[in-house]
Amino acid sequence: MSDFLPYGRQSVSDDDIAAVAEVLRGDWLTTGPAVTRFESDLAEHTGGTPAVAVTSGTAALHVAYAAAGVGPGDEVVTTPLTFVATAATAALHGAEVVFADVEPDTGNLDPTAAQAAVTDRTKVLAAVDYAGHPAELDRLREVADSAGALLLEDAAHSIGGSWRGRPVGSLADLTTFSFFATKNLTTAEGGAVVSPSAELVERARAFRNHGLVRDRDRQRYPDEGAWHQEVHAFGLNYRLPDVLCALGSSQLRRLHAFKQRRAEIHARYDEGLRDVPGVLTPVRRPEADPMWHLYPLRVLDGRRRALFDHLRAHGIGVQVNYIPAYWHPVFEDLGYSRGLCPNAEAYYAQELSLPLFADLDDADVDRVIDTVRSFFGA
């Protein structure tokens, strides 16, 4: 059997290593200039929207909901076709998570379903850019505004993409990114919150740093001494260190190349698989310029698991993204039932993520295509 081919893998260059080594030789390992530089570099890819770097995509969601003021008595409307963190971080703030169904073709939150789900208790409407294809942020903005809610874009998959010509990160009140190793760029672990609102950015910065207040003009007891700092509202330590921010800034210089290569791989899969009976290749809305993070093949007729096992047996590391969030026992124990979002459950039952990462070569893409075709006798 050939070497095992993972479904995702980081791309680390000599320049990335040099950027990290430079920080290691300097005076700041954390809370230093590389953090500020990374946030500034990131804003260049979000239409200038200010960024707050944090320790993970999950932390970004937790921070974003905190900045939005989510708490007990509030509702957060979101999609179930996502990693559990999109919903879990809202629940951890005490909110009730309301799941709305997805579009059957893109897997993204359906604006019509979202409209039916929002109420006067909805604090945040949280969309997810599934597989890197931007959600319909213009229509979802109308839904959020109709409920007096903030719009959050979970863009863990989609940095570098755009919707109707506007870059991801410039469309929502709050946008969250993930820089995990398999994502479109990496800081090993890491994430960010971006927002056009100075108030939301300030709240995000405070929450990621314990809620500490060092500005004397805002302190309750400013005459305590030059060392004095206060906490006015609880926060956590979600600071992304300089070492990882240096890696992120270096990776951002290759973001366009990463996007181009992912698009080439995606197109090669499309060409090699679109005529295979028993599968559906991903769709793309004309308004979208995706940053393809996943290649979500749809396997029909109940054969997804068999194809999964077949590919794994041939050393191809496919994955399934994702189990509907409310299927997790933690939500089941809160009273959520299967059957809540039929489109999301049908999508999950068919979805199979093929290997997709920037350093994947054409020969390996063709190997995946040939192995899929052999399963179907195509």
Residues annotated as catalytic (active site), given as ranges: 183
CA-to-CA distance for 157 and 83, rounded, in angstroms? Answer: 11
Please tell me the total number of residues recorded for the chain in this structure. Answer: 378
How far are the Cα atoms of 63, 77, 91, 153, 265 from residue 72, in angstroms, in the given order? 16, 14, 9, 21, 44
**If DSSP codes are grouped into helix, strand and coil, which group holds residue 101?**
coil
60 membership: H or E segment, kind and range? helix 57-67
Rg of the chain over Cα atoms, rounded to whole angstroms, equals 21
The residues that bridge with 353 in the sheet, in sequence order, are 296, 319
* Cis status, amide bond into 322, omega within 30 of 0: yes
Contacts of 43 (CB under 8 A, 6+ apart): 49, 50, 51, 194
Strands 75-78 and 51-54 turn out to be: unpaired
Strands 51-54 and 191-194 turn out to be: antiparallel
Taking the CA atoms of residue 334, residue 339, residue 340 and residue 344 in that order, the dihedral angle to the nearest 10 degrees is 120
By the 8 A CB rule, do 186 and 247 touch? yes
CA-to-CA distance for 282 and 3, rounded, in angstroms? Answer: 27
Following DSSP, what letter does each residue of 226-238 receive, concatenated? TT--EESS---B-
CA-to-CA distance for 172 and 153, rounded, in angstroms? Answer: 6
